[in-house]
């Protein structure tokens, strides 16, 4: 079954737009919206845990009255599951992912929040306990659905063998009602399940206001956990003193960042006012740009711009890399303001800009380009590897781009080149843009200098990409391999050294002798973290071979 009863993630040249409904701008309107967004589920059975059974939810806008089109209303599941919450946006947003996944009706008027169904009642704690309890419950239900489901054409994951130890009869529960299945899942002891849970793919920290209600369809399509934002001032000891070359001229836009209190997840989005370390900053505009952009076609259209001769090394390295990946690569040196504007306005899958950025914009030989002065942007993604490019990146997203890599302050040449080349290889090979930036930042000390604006979950490829870790353990080595879920959790992957599938977010591990390592690494074709350094499997294999010659 393909994703798309309501649109989104379709094949073809143009995306389908989901249906839209309206609600009042109020807590009651938010409760109605969350209840209706479950129309994005193609099933209320355990198959809903598979990404092919979750279509894009309908979009929500504000209106004087609630108006739900008939075709949307008909798709809203009737499960008899209800979540009661107080009339506060914080609690409403926190319970939204759980309510969406369960196909629950959300009602205003009960404090503390409560989950109920025929023969079942569970009262949650007040905040902050509520956010932890909701996250734990959704992760439990989702995981057990993954083990119980029977998807045509899919081999059951390795983790299905855990059902016996949990006292769960998968065959019986496949045909059970949503309430019966929920009761069975709640009976599983927490200690039995905790060690088996896959890592969660995404947490988003959302300012609890009415203005954020239109973001909910996109967050729930991503199946993100939702938390209220909480952050501290960044400890200045985290920002190491460093001398800057005379190379830096002009006034650079330096962004003040905060240290967010992050919950467990692979990726973190920050829908709040501050600029966080270690999280991408999405927006409603970025989500709409993602939805309104046609699917990516291979090969990619990539443009590399060098407006700083001192970073010629990065320019040559990334251009060669894109060519090696058989992408359509266009190269420019020393482009003018008008030429750079034209590049962003024309159709590009990815623009890699290497140069300077000052308060008045991206630097060109004849002046500065302020992206806010442009009209429509037709560039999907970008990397502005230039000092203090955050605000110019934000403007690119506001004008039509989906996401991009930026810098938060002045950066040194050599670290910039290292991040730029590493990021380029990761992103073009299929990693989501935030995950690519996470891994690229490992290469430098000042990792807080780089960030992603827009939808950090976005990827230029639907291909499955993994990452490995190699660690010496006495006389042998432990190799672990995993595939992150990115936006669509619930899928499976097969590690190169195994025969059975595993759920995304879980790790496959094997023990190797030193002599085994080159052969196994050559089969991986992925980045490997070894001695806290990021290497590519084929390069690391050659290092092990040369050490024994």
- DSSP labels, 280-324: BB--HHHHHHHHHSPPP-SSPEEEEEE--GGGHHHHHHHHHHHHH
Mean pLDDT within 396-422? 90
Q: Do 326 and 408 fall into the same domain?
A: yes
Q: What is the pLDDT of residue 12?
A: 40
Strand blocks (E) in 19-104: 20-23, 59-62, 82-85
- Quote the pLDDT of residue 2: 35
237 vs 174, higher pLDDT: 174
Q: Do 265 and 191 reside in the same domain of the chain?
A: no
Asked whether the predicted pLDDT for residue 347 surpasses 50, the reply is yes
Question: What is the arithmetic mean of pLDDT over 128-155?
Answer: 96
Residue 256 lies in a domain: yes
Average pLDDT over residues 500-522: 94
The yes-or-no verdict on residue 15 having pLDDT over 80 is no
pLDDT at 136: 96
Would you state the pLDDT for residue 10? Answer: 35
Check whether 237 has a pLDDT greater than 60. Answer: no
Residues 28 and 68 in one domain: yes
Percent of the chain whose pLDDT exceeds 90: 79
pLDDT value, residue 454: 98
- pTM for this entry: 0.93
pLDDT for the residue numbered 481: 96
Query: In what helix (H) or strand (E) does residue 406 lie, and over which residues does it extend?
Result: strand 403-407
| Most confident of the following: 83-92, 227-236, 315-324 | 83-92
Lowest mean pLDDT among 49-63, 122-136, 224-238, 370-384: 224-238
What's the pLDDT at 281? 98
Q: Give the per-residue pLDDT at 442.
A: 82
**From CA 363, how far away is CA 254, in angstroms rounded?**
16
pLDDT average, residue stretch 303-332: 92
Find out whether 484 and 495 touch, Cβ atoms under 8 Å: no
| 371-383 pLDDT tens trace | 999 988 999 999 9
Are the beta carbons of 59 and 217 closer than 8 angstroms? Answer: yes
The answer to whether residue 229 sits within a structural domain is no
State the CATH number of the domain containing residue 386.
Answer: 3.40.50.1460
- The pLDDT value given to residue 462: 81
Q: Are residues 242 and 308 in the same domain?
A: yes
Q: Which residue has the tokens 């949307």?
A: 72
415 and 533 together in one domain: no
Q: CA nearest 36: which of 65, 53, 57?
A: 57
| Domain-terminating residue out of 221, 244, 278 | 221
The answer on 516 and 476 residing in a single domain is yes
Listed in sequence order, the DSSP H helices in 346-402 are 390-398
Strand partners, 385: 354
Residue 412 pLDDT level (bands cut at 50, 70, 90): confident
460 within a domain of the structure (yes/no): no
**Which of 454, 478, 508 corresponds to the end of one domain?**
454
Do residues 398 and 477 both lie within one domain?
no
Burial class of residue 454 in the structure, from the number of CB atoms within 10 Å of its CB (0-12 exposed, 13-18 middle, 19+ buried): buried
What pLDDT sits at residue 444?
A: 67
> How big is the chain, counted in residues?
549
Q: What percent of the chain has pLDDT over 70?
A: 93
Q: What pLDDT, on the 0 to 100 scale, is given for residue 234?
A: 74
**If you average pLDDT over every residue of the chain, what do you get?**
90
Give the pairing type, strands 450-454 and 403-407.
Answer: antiparallel
Number of separate domains in the chain: 3
Residue 110 has a pLDDT of 87
Tell whether 329 and 372 lie within a shared domain: yes
Residues 209, 291 within the same domain: no
**Shared-domain flag, residues 332 and 185:** no
Q: In terms of Cα–Cα distance, which of 388, 379, 333 is closest to 356?
A: 388
- Residue 542's domain comprises 466-546
The structure tokens listed for 348 are: 């590009």
Is there a single domain that holds both residue 197 and residue 284? no
- Residue with the larger pLDDT of the pair 417 and 198: 198
Give SS3 for 444.
Answer: coil
Q: Please, which pLDDT band fits residue 474 given cuts at 50, 70 and 90?
A: confident
For the segment 400-420, the average pLDDT, to the nearest whole number, is: 88
- Token couple for 153: 């054409």
pLDDT at 419 > cutoff 60:
yes
Q: Identify the helix (H) or strand (E) that includes residue 533.
A: strand 533-536
Any domain includes 10: no
The predicted-structure confidence for 245-296, as pLDDT tens digits, reads as follows: 334 434 667 788 999 999 999 999 999 999 999 999 999 999 999 999 998 9
Q: What is the per-residue pLDDT for 6?
A: 47
Residues 401 and 485 in one domain: no
> How high is the pLDDT of residue 443?
76
Given 432, 454, 476, the domain boundary residue is 454
């Amino acid at each position: 079954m393909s994703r798309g009863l309501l649109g989104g993630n379709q094949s073809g040249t143009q995306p389908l737009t989901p249906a839209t409904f309206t609600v009042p701008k109020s807590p009651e309107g938010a409760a109605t919206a969350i209840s209706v967004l479950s129309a994005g589920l193609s099933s209320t059975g355990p198959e809903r845990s598979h990404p092919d059974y979750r279509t894009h939810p309908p979009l929500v806008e504000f209106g004087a009255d609630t108006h739900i089109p008939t075709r949307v209303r008909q798709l809203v599941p009737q499960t008899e599951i209800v979540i009661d919450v107080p009339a506060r946006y914080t609690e409403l947003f926190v319970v939204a992912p759980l309510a969406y996944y369960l196909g629950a009706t959300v009602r205003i008027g009960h404090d503390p929040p409560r989950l109920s169904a025929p023969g079942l009642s569970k009262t949650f704690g007040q905040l902050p306990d509520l956010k932890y309890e909701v996250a734990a419950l959704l992760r439990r239900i989702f995981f057990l659905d993954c083990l119980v489901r029977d998807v045509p054409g899919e081999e059951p994951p390795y983790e299905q063998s855990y059902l016996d130890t949990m006292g769960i009869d998968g065959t019986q529960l496949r045909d059970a009602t949503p309430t019966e299945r929920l009761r069975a899942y709640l009976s599983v002891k927490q200690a039995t399940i905790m060690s088996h849970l896959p890592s969660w793919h995404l947490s988003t920290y959302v300012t609890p206001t009415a203005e954020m209600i239109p973001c909910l369809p996109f967050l729930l399509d991503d199946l993100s956990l939702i938390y209220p934002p909480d952050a501290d001032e960044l400890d200045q000891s985290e920002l190491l003193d460093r001398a800057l070359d005379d190379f830096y001229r002009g006034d650079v836009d330096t962004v003040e960042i905060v240290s967010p209190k992050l919950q467990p997840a692979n990726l973190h989005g920050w829908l709040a006012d501050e600029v966080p370390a270690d999280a991408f900053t999405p927006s409603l505009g970025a989500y709409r740009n993602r939805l309104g952009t046609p699917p990516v076609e291979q090969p990619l259209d990539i443009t590399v711009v060098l407006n700083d001769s001192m970073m010629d090394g990065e320019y040559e390295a990334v251009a060669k890399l894109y060519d090696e990946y058989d992408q359509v690569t266009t190269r420019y040196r020393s482009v003018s303001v008008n030429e750079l504007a034209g590049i962003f306005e024309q159709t590009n899958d990815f623009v890699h800009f290497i140069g300077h950025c000052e308060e008045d914009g991206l630097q060109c030989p004849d002046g500065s380009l302020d992206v806010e002065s442009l009209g429509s942007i037709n560039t999907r993604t970008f990397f502005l590897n230039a000092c203090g490019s955050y605000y110019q990146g934000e403007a690119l997203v506001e004008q039509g781009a989906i996401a991009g890599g930026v810098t938060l302050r002045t950066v040194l040449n050599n670290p910039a080149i290292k991040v730029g080349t590493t990021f380029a290889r990761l992103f073009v090979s299929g990693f989501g843009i935030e995950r690519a930036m996470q891994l690229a930042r490992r290469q430098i000390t000042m990792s807080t200098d780089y960030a992603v604006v827009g939808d950090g979950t976005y990827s230029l490829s639907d291909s499955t990409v993994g990452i490995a870790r190699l660690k010496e353990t006495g006389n042998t080595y432990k190799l672990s391999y995993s595939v992150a879920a990115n936006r669509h959790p619930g899928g499976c992957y097969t590690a190169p050294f195994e025969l059975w599938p595993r759920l995304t977010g879980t790790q496959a591990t094997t023990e190797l002798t030193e002599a085994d390592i080159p052969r196994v690494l050559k089969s991986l074709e992925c980045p490997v973290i070894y001695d806290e350094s990021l290497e590519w499997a084929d390069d690391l294999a050659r290092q092990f071979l040369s050490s024994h010659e």
